[in-house]
Amino acid sequence: MTTPNDPGYLGYQPTIEPLKLTTGASFVQTIQPTGPALFPAGTTISIVLTAPGGAPLGSWPATVTQTAATWTVPAATCDPIPTNSRYTMLVTYPTSPATTYAWYVGTVIRN
């Protein structure tokens, strides 16, 4: 059965975007809630990285306030991440039980 608003899949669909890293530069990013929305206290957001072959490369937690999630990841941490690695940005809301969404996913591209 399909409906007029059927996207062709079940489940939440993350936004697909590349994550751009520049050799020798820090990764700096800020995400703000839209409109009057706020991040609830206890919200966590992390970028989880895997190598092209799937091996884990670590995660970069954001500093989350009610009005922004920010990352400042030093170049020494970013530079070893190879091109074509994958990332998933996970946001976890402090519901009961906790609810985790994959907000963004994609590949790593490099300058």
Give pLDDT tens digits for 5-47: 776 788 889 999 999 999 999 999 999 999 899 999 999 999 9
Q: Which domains does the chain have, with CATH numbers?
A: 15-110 (2.60.40)
The token duo for 43 is 């919200």
Q: Give me the residue label for tokens 């990013």.
A: 29
What pLDDT score was predicted for residue 10? 85
Angle at 29 between CA 16 and CA 27, to 5 degrees: 95
**Cβ atoms of 59 and 85 closer than 8 Å:** no
Tell me how crowded residue 24 is: count the other CB atoms within 10 A of its CB.
Answer: 10
pTM (predicted TM-score): 0.90
Whole-angstrom distance, CA of residue 85 vs CA of residue 70: 21
